[in-house]
Amino acid sequence: MLKRYLNTAISILDELIDTTLQDIENIKEAKHSAVDESVRKKGVLVKNFEDTKRSLDKELVNLSKTSENLQEALDDEVKANLVLMREKLEILHKVNKEYARHVVLVKEFFDSLTKQMFNLDQNAYTQSVSQSNFYKAKV
């Protein structure tokens, strides 16, 4: 059971990494229509990973209760997969940081465009509607 949970967790992490890398490419190519589906897919993957990780933790706790030395109770394949899972988590962390950097750059770009288009300044929220050149309302 432990091996199955580890393999499932690793495959979920691989899919999260691949999806995030694809998101970065979509941002670079301005394919914004793919964002909604990707966010939904990553939400499901994260939930599945959390469930799998919780099950993995329970298995490890049960194994540690029945064995004096957990390290000796684990075979080499399980140990290698635990190391691999940690490496995948570190890769995902790095990829998510890069993704966040791209998202921030796009946000700043759109914020600057909005500011230029609508001639906004720091006090934009305090300006009255009548001062706006773009929007005039009759009430």
CATH of the domain at 116: 1.20.58
Q: Is the dihedral of CA 107, 109, 110, 112 positive or negative?
A: positive
Would residue 118 count as lying in a domain? yes
pTM of the model: 0.76
User: What pLDDT is attached to residue 136?
Assistant: 52
- The Cα 57–Cα 62 span in angstroms is 9
Domain that holds residue 100: 2-131
Between 92 and 36, whose confidence is greater? 92
Amino acid at 73: A
What does the pLDDT look like over 93-103, one tens digit per residue? 999 999 999 88
Would residue 7 count as lying in a domain? yes
Would residue 107 count as lying in a domain? yes
User: What pLDDT is attached to residue 85?
Assistant: 96
The domain tally of the chain equals: 1
Would residue 136 count as lying in a domain? no
Residue 129 has pLDDT above 50, yes or no: no
User: What pLDDT is attached to residue 123?
Assistant: 55
What does the pLDDT look like over 39-94, one tens digit per residue? 899 999 999 999 999 999 999 998 888 888 877 888 899 999 999 999 999 999 99
Asked if residue 13 lies in contact with residue 96, where contact means CB atoms within 8 angstroms, the answer is no
